[in-house]
């Protein structure tokens, strides 16, 4: 990272970087504390659309990681912002939980199953066959199809669960209509997070544990990237991708001293 502009802003994924399930990973609390102490601007990004920022803040705090609610940016919030910009005061048929429905209500959207402007698909632990069937019929009738993120599976204590991407594929197979995915790896989510903290891409680093979402979206948004090896992508998999992170670290604990170092670059 020689001959680069100093870093004053940070974006980071949550699961696999700061926490695993609800257990804090070593260095997570210290990393956030260092960002706050150094005066760095930052956002915690997650494709998880189930929880509100308030819920996520409480879950992080339970693991000893203290972050302000406004520092959390979810795919649900990004989706709501995108829809508000596309069609102000619109309507949507929503499959999802409080994180998504609250975000849409807060931008003035009406939830309806009668001729909605959009079908919006998010993550839930209780996908309903009846709700999916209704979504298919509405898309066939002309509703625009939006999904919060393309993740095919999500983690659980008992192993992977089908997530938004898998259910979106089911609806697509039934209708022939592809959704527009708002969350990572869409660089739209990176750019909206940058706008929230008035940051510039040349002065920002993105941290993640997945090459195929976190790193590529950071790269496409013009950010420097750090891959940590405490989540999805293993060290031996990095070379398989046609793109590389700016740096690879064993864990977020190794990134803590880089906050001050990069600020001086």
Active site residue 13: yes
Q: What one-character DSSP code corresponds to residue 74?
A: E
Phi-psi domain of 64 (left: phi exceeds 0; alpha: psi -120 through 50; beta: other):
left
Separation between Cα atoms, residue 85 and residue 159, nearest integer Å: 37
- Cα 119 to Cα 108, 136, 181, distances in angstroms: 16, 9, 12
d(CA 227, CA 136): 37
Tokens of 176: 């022939």
Residues 6 or more apart from 252 whose CB is under 8 A from it?
12, 17, 18, 25, 26, 27, 28, 31, 207, 228, 230
Element (H, E) at 165: helix 164-175
Q: Which of 13, 55, 151, 209 is catalytic?
A: 13
Q: Please count the other Cβ atoms lying within 10 Å of the Cβ belonging to residue 157.
A: 6
Distance CA 20, CA 14 (A): 8
Determine the Cα–Cα distance for residues 165 and 151; give it in Å rounded to an integer: 5
Q: Give the start-end residues of each E strand in the chain.
A: 9-13, 19-20, 23-24, 41-46, 72-74, 91-95, 110-111, 118-121, 144-147, 153-154, 161-162, 180-181, 204-208, 224-228, 247-249
Q: Write down the catalytic residue from 15, 55, 209, 214.
A: 15
Q: What positions carry a catalytic annotation?
A: 13, 15
């Amino acid at each position: 990272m020689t001959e680069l502009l100093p870093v004053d802003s940070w974006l980071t994924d949550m699961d696999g970087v700061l926490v695993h399930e609800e257990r804090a990973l070593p260095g997570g609390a210290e990393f956030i504390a260092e960002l706050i102490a150094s005066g760095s601007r930052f956002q915690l990004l997650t494709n998880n659309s189930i929880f509100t920022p308030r819920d996520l803040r409480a879950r992080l705090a339970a693991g000893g990681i203290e972050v302000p609610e406004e520092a959390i940016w979810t795919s649900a919030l990004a989706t709501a912002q995108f829809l508000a910009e596309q069609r102000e005061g619109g309507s949507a048929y929503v499959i999802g939980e409080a994180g998504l429905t609250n975000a849409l209500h807060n931008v003035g959207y009406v939830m309806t199953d009668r001729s909605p402007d959009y079908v919006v698909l998010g993550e839930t632990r209780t996908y309903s066959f009846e709700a999916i069937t209704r979504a298919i019929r509405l898309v066939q009738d002309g509703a625009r199809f939006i999904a919060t993120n393309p993740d095919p599976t999500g983690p659980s204590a008992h192993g992977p669960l089908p997530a938004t991407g898998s259910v979106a594929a089911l609806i697509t197979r039934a209708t022939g209509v592809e959704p527009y995915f708002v969350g990572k790896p869409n660089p739209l989510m990176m750019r909206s997070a940058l706008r929230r903290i008035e940051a510039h891409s040349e002065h920002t680093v993105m941290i993640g544990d997945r090459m195929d979402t976190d790193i590529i979206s950071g790269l496409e948004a013009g950010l420097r990237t750090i891959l940590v090896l405490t989540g999805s992508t293993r060290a031996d998999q990095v070379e398989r991708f046609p793109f590389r992170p700016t740096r690879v670290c064993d864990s977020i604990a190794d990134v803590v001293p880089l906050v001050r170092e990069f600020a001086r670059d």
